[in-house]
């Protein structure tokens, strides 16, 4: 028996892959509905199509225009491959249905509380406690993972707080990034009339969020969403005996943008291989996505020290034709594929390495 805590994308996709291999899989989700509450922008690169075939009703928008703003400058990009805006509730339920179709069982309103070796404790409706036996325990239960905590795997890590609103805002179907508001801020169109607008911040998320609303002249919101975003922690241990961490619980998240859907899905693939073929999980997922996550982290550490003039300079350099073309043609999920090429074509980018000291 394989017990997965958390029915988010990483947990459900891992369940699907393992059940497909004939394993007995059960998922315990603490919420009453899969996909709620929404705690994600739902913006992914088109490389997700290399992992999953998505139903059309899951993709609510496709965008290839991006604008990145500093105080005195703006970089406009036209991406070779469109970014996809997902309906997160439908996406999560789609993955859950895939898992169920292969025999996995999902139990809603069940909260994991503790485990000792092969015994796990869960509470239904936060009241009635049940004790179960399991052969494997997988923590897919978010940045404050109780599975990690119960097994001394929740080491010190940095966490961003994200606040997002659905707002009425006419737009030209262009993603906007504001890297100097909070830790970063975004505007992602759902359609020509409605956007997802939000910030991620270490210290003052409400203050930064209000700053963004003021900038975009937003006075009313249709819906407020929020959640915690873990920053990738390279030294975090993600396996202990028969216990595994995946997705946000393993901080498998891009530190530059807070995105982790594709990384969680790829980690699920390596988790399946690790269990089925008895491979080293930590080694396998790091081989697959670890180098790129490390580069994202170093870039984030550099950007955290930027002042307005540094953003202005970076955008000025990015606007050069060769550099702009590289950015437009490569997938931002995989900076190891193009970062060296950027520096080779614009050595002035080496200036920013001083912020790593």
How far is 347 from 357, CA to CA, in rounded Å? 18
Close Cβ partners of 97 (under 8 Å, ≥ 6 residues apart): none
pLDDT higher than threshold 80 for residue 357? no
CA–CA distance from 234 to each of 156, 238, 253 (Å)? Answer: 11, 10, 11
Q: Which domains does the chain have, with CATH numbers?
A: 2-37+88-156+233-300 (3.50.50.60), 43-86+158-230 (3.30.9.10), 307-356 (no CATH)
**Per residue in 278-320, pLDDT tens?**
999 999 999 999 999 999 999 999 999 999 999 999 999 999 9
Contact between 149 and 193 under an 8 Å Cβ cutoff? The reply is no
Contact between 147 and 113 under an 8 Å Cβ cutoff? The reply is no
- pLDDT computed for residue 133 by the predictor: 95
Percent of the chain scoring above 70 in pLDDT = 100
As a whole number, mean pLDDT of residues 247-276 equals: 96
How far is 301 from 255, CA to CA, in rounded Å? 9
- pLDDT computed for residue 127 by the predictor: 84
Q: Are strands 184-189 and 194-201 parallel, antiparallel or unpaired?
A: antiparallel
**Per residue in 59-88, pLDDT tens?**
999 999 999 999 899 999 999 999 999 999
pLDDT range class, residue 38, cuts 50, 70, 90: confident
Q: Is the bond leading into 37 cis (omega within 30 degrees of zero)?
A: yes
């Amino acid at each position: 028996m394989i017990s997965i805590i958390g029915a988010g994308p990483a947990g459900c996709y891992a369940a699907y892959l393992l059940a497909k291999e004939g394993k007995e899989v059960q998922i315990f989700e603490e919420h009453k509905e899969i996909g709620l509450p929404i705690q994600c922008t739902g913006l992914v690169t088109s490389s997700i199509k290399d992992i999953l075939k998505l139903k059309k009703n899951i993709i609510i928008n496709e965008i290839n225009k991006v604008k990145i703003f500093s105080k005195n400058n703006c970089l406009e990009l036209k991406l070779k491959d469109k970014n996809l805006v997902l309906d997160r509730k439908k996406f999560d339920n789609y993955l859950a249905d895939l898992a169920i179709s292969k025999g996995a069982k999902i139990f809603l309103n069940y909260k994991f509380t503790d485990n000792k070796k092969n015994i796990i404790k869960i509470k239904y409706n936060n009241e009635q406690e049940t004790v179960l036996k399991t052969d494997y325990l997988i923590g897919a239960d978010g940045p404050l993972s109780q599975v990690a905590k119960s097994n001394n795997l929740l080491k010190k890590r940095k966490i961003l707080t994200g606040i997002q609103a659905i707002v009425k805002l006419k737009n030209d179907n262009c993603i906007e990034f504001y890297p100097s508001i909070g830790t970063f801020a975004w505007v992602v169109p759902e359609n020509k009339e409605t956007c997802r607008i939000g910030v991620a911040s270490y210290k003052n998320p409400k203050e930064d969020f209000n700053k963004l609303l003021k900038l975009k002249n937003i006075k009313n919101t249709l819906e407020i969403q929020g959640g915690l975003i873990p920053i990738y922690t390279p030294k975090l241990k993600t396996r202990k005996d028969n216990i595994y961490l995946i997705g946000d619980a393993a901080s498998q998240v891009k530190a530059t943008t807070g995105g982790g859907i594709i990384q969680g899905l790829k980690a699920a693939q390596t988790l399946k291989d690790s269990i089925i073929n008895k491979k080293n999980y930590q080694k396998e997922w790091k081989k697959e996505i670890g180098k790129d996550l490390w580069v994202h982290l170093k870039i984030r550490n550099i950007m955290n020290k930027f002042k307005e003039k540094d953003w202005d300079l970076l955008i000025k350099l990015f606007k050069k034709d060769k550099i702009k073309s590289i950015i437009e043609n490569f997938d931002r999920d995989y900076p190891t594929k193009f970062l060296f090429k950027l520096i080779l074509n614009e050595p002035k980018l080496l200036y920013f390495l001083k912020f790593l000291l």
